[in-house]
Structure 1
Amino acid sequence: MARPQASFREDVRMLGALVKFRMAKDWTKKVQSIYEMYPPGHLMTENSTYFNQGYWETGKETYDDAQQALAGLLADAAKMQAGDVVLDCGFGYGDQDFYWMESRQPKRINGINITPQHVEYASARAEREGVTDKLTFQLASATEIPFPDNTFDRVVSLESAMHYQPRTKFFEEAFRVLRPGGVLATADIVPMPHAGPREDIKSHAIGWLNWTVDERNWHDRDVYATKLGEAGFEDVDVSTIQPKVWEPWRAYITNKMAEPEFKKTVSKLYYRVLQKAWANPDLLKRELEDVDYILSSATKPLDA
């Protein structure tokens, strides 16, 4: 079933979210408004409502397949398996949770997210598919996780921890709610080692890195690993998958924008937004060389 196409109502919501973003002084509202600009009809996917950069093994994947591949890598990093109780922080529209439920067969997945639109959409889908006994989604912050200590076998965050204020508080909360021996895994965005200041980013396509990433989170993968250790985790692994993410993602979207048929599949407003964001693909290509994409995993000690 194809994802819904953009409606006039969604265009109005996009404009409203843009106004909200420009007026917002509260960090949470800024992040919420960025994601509210992209309802299902304003996504670049073919059929899904995934909302990540994707993992491109060959560079010839569809966007749906690349994004699901990234979700699969994250589940592998978390060692997700049948019978697990999982917490997914910042779940977007929840596609990965439905995919994991089918492919990894955990006992239950609880999702938390600060964007009401995402919670409503994922919850409605769970209701439609009759899986609310296994999949639940609620409005909550990853830095104030509303669950007791030692509740989960896995805590995961798919391309959202860069927004947390700060990410180290999320590490502490994940450690608290994990059972001893449980695993935290993230797919996350950080600067490449020795990259310049974040403020040097000028490409509109990734301007949100300046607008919605806490400055305390803008450090390289080595510091990331250190902070996981400081939170109490062991067996910490932080690896770059940057070459399989940013450049093939950039190439895919650039080619997609050039397809005459693509313009017919989106609203006029959304197409104009995309044109502005992707007006300088060469600048974007250069700047993405300084942006890392990492996959991390860390284990709560058995004696914790």
Structure 2
Amino acid sequence: MHEAVRETYGPTDLSSLPMFAGGFINFGHWQAVDLTGPIGEAERIRSQQDLYRRVLDAAGLAAAPDAGGPDAAAREGAAPPKDARVLEVGCGLGMGCALALREYGPASVTGLDVHPAQLARARAAHAGLLTEQPERLRFAQGAAEQIPFPDGEFDILLSVEAAQHFPDLTAFAAEAARVLRPGGRVAVAGFFTADDSPERPAQLASLLHTFETGLDLARPVTALTEALTTAGCTEVRTESLGPHVWPGWDTWLSRWWAPDTWPRNFLNAYRRGILDYYLVTATRP
């Protein structure tokens, strides 16, 4: 585990910062939020939940008819795989795991995280659900490159804004393919460089402190798509979510940070064509 990852998700506890309201740790999907009006904690949490909904929809799950989440009816489609088993790699506090159970109704969700402090927080946050439905929710420690589960254990593997920390995308893709059953789906959301120009790592390190410290790794999105293809996955697709992520994230950050401070450079890097936010999906044949 990189020291920056150990510190950020351990003693620093990124989830406790106001900018990551609600226990989620992601930039959010802001399409349903009016960025011209007042943005408070409720809108911020909605953006983070909506990012998970976007990923879960892309993974092939359909919202349960009685889910109760915003726009649930609009998301209904094909029925989810019977008795779907879901794995989230890099689950953090498990808020996405709980949302998946509440709104999509799979048979089970497993949250995997490399950091023991995050897992302790996840278990505390969801103690009631873990006690009441232990067969439906569990948390486990493990790295994305060495997933501690048998072959074909899951129907769906998702990862939301964690892949920028994975040291080896090739190993992650191989493990993802291994633990999925035939026909299983992968859905990964996260930020990557927009191309494979060798200048991108240095550019991002000069703009963004998280890249300078090594917390975030500068890799092109093709590094992930090619790794999934090499692992034997098919139907590998990439979609830019940038228009629905970066402007909203920057608007939210403006509550604390001036335009010339480094966190505001995520939008700057996007506008300069250096960085973007992607949704990558694939199928294990």
For the superposition of Structure 1 and Structure 2, which TM-score range results when normalised by the shorter chain? 0.7 to 0.9
For 1:240 and 1:105, the matched residues in 2 are separated by 27
Aligned to 1:287: 269
For 2:51 and 2:265, the matched residues in 1 are separated by 25
Structure 1 residue 152 corresponds to structure 2 residue 154: yes
Residues 249 and 59 of structure 1: is their aligned pair in 2 closer, same or farther, counting only changes over 3 Å? Answer: farther
Runs of 4+ residues over 4 Å off in structure 1: 280-284
Deviation of 1:200 after TM superposition, in Å, equals: 1.7
Residues 281 and 42 of structure 1: is their aligned pair in 2 closer, same or farther, counting only changes over 3 Å? Answer: closer
Aligned to 2:17: 42
Matching residue's letter, 2:87: L
Matching residue's letter, 2:115: T
More helix per residue: 1
Residues 149 and 295 of structure 1: is their aligned pair in 2 closer, same or farther, counting only changes over 3 Å? Answer: same
Structure 1 residue 64 corresponds to structure 2 residue 66: no
Aligned residues: 252
Deviation of 1:112 after TM superposition, in Å, equals: 0.9
Query: Out of 168, 187, 190, which is 2:170 matched to?
Result: 168
Report the 3-state secondary structure (helix = DSSP H, G, I; strand = E; otherwise coil) of the residue aligned with 1:44: helix
Structure 1 residue 230 corresponds to structure 2 residue 211: no
Report the 3-state secondary structure (helix = DSSP H, G, I; strand = E; otherwise coil) of the residue aligned with 1:148: coil
Deviation of 1:283 after TM superposition, in Å, equals: 4.8
Aligned to 1:131: 133
Deviation of 1:202 after TM superposition, in Å, equals: 5.2
Listed as ranges, the matches of 1:241-260 within 5 Å are 241-254=241-254, 256-257=255-256
Decide whether the 8 Å contact of 1:126 with 1:132 is kept in 2.
no
For 1:125 and 1:90, the matched residues in 2 are separated by 16
Structure 1 residue 212 corresponds to structure 2 residue 212: no
Deviation of 1:128 after TM superposition, in Å, equals: 2.4
Aligned to 1:201: 204
Report the 3-state secondary structure (helix = DSSP H, G, I; strand = E; otherwise coil) of the residue aligned with 2:156: strand
Deviation of 1:78 after TM superposition, in Å, equals: 0.8
Aligned to 1:8: none
Unaligned runs of 5+ in 2: 62-79
Decide whether the 8 Å contact of 1:242 with 1:294 is kept in 2.
yes
For 2:231 and 2:134, the matched residues in 1 are separated by 33
Residues 146 and 284 of structure 1: is their aligned pair in 2 closer, same or farther, counting only changes over 3 Å? Answer: closer
Decide whether the 8 Å contact of 2:169 with 2:227 is kept in 1.
no
TM-score by length of 2: 0.80
Residues 285 and 239 of structure 1: is their aligned pair in 2 closer, same or farther, counting only changes over 3 Å? Answer: closer
**Among the aligned pairs, what percent are the same residue?**
26
Residues 151 and 278 of structure 1: is their aligned pair in 2 closer, same or farther, counting only changes over 3 Å? Answer: farther
Deviation digits for residues 99-143 of structure 1 (CA, Å, limit 9, x no counterpart): 100111011111110111210111123322333331111211111
Structure 1 residue 77 corresponds to structure 2 residue 79: no
- What is the RMSD of the two structures over their aligned residues, measured on CA atoms? 2.3
For 2:89 and 2:158, the matched residues in 1 are separated by 6
For 2:115 and 2:155, the matched residues in 1 are separated by 25
Decide whether the 8 Å contact of 1:234 with 1:299 is kept in 2.
yes
Decide whether the 8 Å contact of 1:203 with 1:283 is kept in 2.
no
